[in-house]
Amino acid sequence: MKGPGESPENGAAPASNPCGGTARDSAESAHDEITCQKLILECLLDYESGAMSADDRRHLERHLDACPPCGNFLTTYRATGKTLQMLKPCEVPAALARAVVAFVRSRSGRE
Amino acid sequence: MSEGQEQTDLDLVRRIKADDPDAFEQMVERYHARIYSLSYGVLRNAEDAEEATQDAFLTLYRKIGTFDDTKKFFSWFYRVALNNAYSRARRRPSLPTVAIEDYLPRFRSDGHLAAEFPDGSIPVDDDAALRELAGRAEGFISELPATYRDVIWMNDVEQMAPAEIAEVLEISIPAFKSRLHRARLYVRQRLTEISTPPARVAAGAAAPSLTSERTNRPARENP
């Protein structure tokens, strides 16, 4: 059931502070620590779901404030979430429960 | 899930194992809508979903003896229903699915977005337009490979808890999050493509119609 090319899988993500500075970033200025790629592919879901520390959020927001394309991206990502919230579970046929019980009774017999 | 004097799933399971027909009817009443919806997410067709639901409960009735009472009933039964729906889907002519990688954002080697987005517009302030887009979004979800489709359907439409989804699909939480995010990125890309007037694209307009949303972050983001 693994999706092609997906990551991280099975806890393969960095153990902590996934969106914060890394050893590679440490020599860079604070404003450059998060790239668009890291922000969009690795951090956005946690950022939007609130599953991120205040420090990490501030870190991310420094990039968002300085990067109009990422700001744009966040806007449309949120709009997508709002659109998806309008999708409702499909309408269940009114007589389905009775039909299920009748169906099973007509074929009952356990293995 | 339990209300008032309602019995637990396990109580009902034990009574069904003891051939109590009332218990089976209660189980149908409790789960038929969720199983139908789960099946519909896979099959995208009301008639198929209804038949898959009947089959799932028939399997439940016949195989309940194999259910280990120490496990969670819902995840066992959801797996039964999902496998049932997958099996029914395989018997139909398969519909083409998209290559999700083709729709994910592209980046330069330095990690910056590869291009300005000319497509940054989704009319979230217009409920009627949004409902129409939601209908299109459902179509986009149905084009996804099953590994992504089922995650976004269960999470964003069925509103199942992440831990439940990961358990039913037998994947880790990080894998669940990765699939959900990629599925949303795909839907985002498709929605922005269809909701941006061609003139704006032609003009290379990059500003979204929702710039106000940028400042509308949760309060705790700005301590």
Which chain A residue has the Cα nearest residue B22? A101
ipTM of the complex: 0.76
Q: Does B218 touch chain A (CB under 8 A)?
A: yes
Q: Do A3 and B111 touch (CB under 8 A)?
A: no
Q: What is the pLDDT of residues A18-40, one digit of tens each?
A: 454 443 443 344 444 789 999 99
Does B7 have pLDDT greater than 90?
no
CA separation, residue B89 to residues A77, B34, B44 (Å): 31, 18, 10
- Number of Cβ atoms within 10 Å of the Cβ of A101: 19
Contacts with B155 from chain A: Cβ below 8 Å: none
B98 touches chain A (CB under 8 A): no
Closest CA to A32 of B147, B27, B111: B111
How confident is the model over A78-109, as pLDDT tens digits? 989 989 988 887 889 999 999 999 999 998 76
User: Distances from the Cα of B66 to the Cαs of B8, B14, B63, B76, in angstroms?
Assistant: 19, 12, 6, 10
Which pTM was predicted? 0.78
At residue B26, does pLDDT exceed 60?
yes
Of B210, B135, B86, B181, which is closest to residue A84 (Cα–Cα)? Answer: B135
B26 burial class (0-12, 13-18, 19+ CB within 10 angstroms)? middle
In terms of residues, how long is chain A? 111
**Of A5-19, A21-35, B126-140, the least confident:** A5-19
Q: Which positions in chain B touch A9 (Cβ < 8 Å)?
A: 172, 174-175, 178
| Strand-pair partners of B107 | B113
CB proximity B101 to A under 8 Å: yes
Considering only the beta carbons, identify the residue of B32, B101, B178 that sits closest to A97: B32
Structure tokens at B102: 């083709």
Please judge whether A68 and B206 are an interchain contact, meaning their C-beta atoms are less than 8 angstroms apart: yes
Q: How far is CA B12 from the centre of its chain?
A: 28
In whole angstroms, give the CA distance from residue B104 to residue B116.
Answer: 14
Contacts of B135 (CB under 8 A, 6+ apart): none
Tell me the residues of chain A between 51 and 70 that have a Cβ less than 8 Å away from chain B. 54, 57, 61, 64, 68-70
> Mind listing the pLDDT tens digit for each residue in B201-220?
444 333 333 322 333 333 33
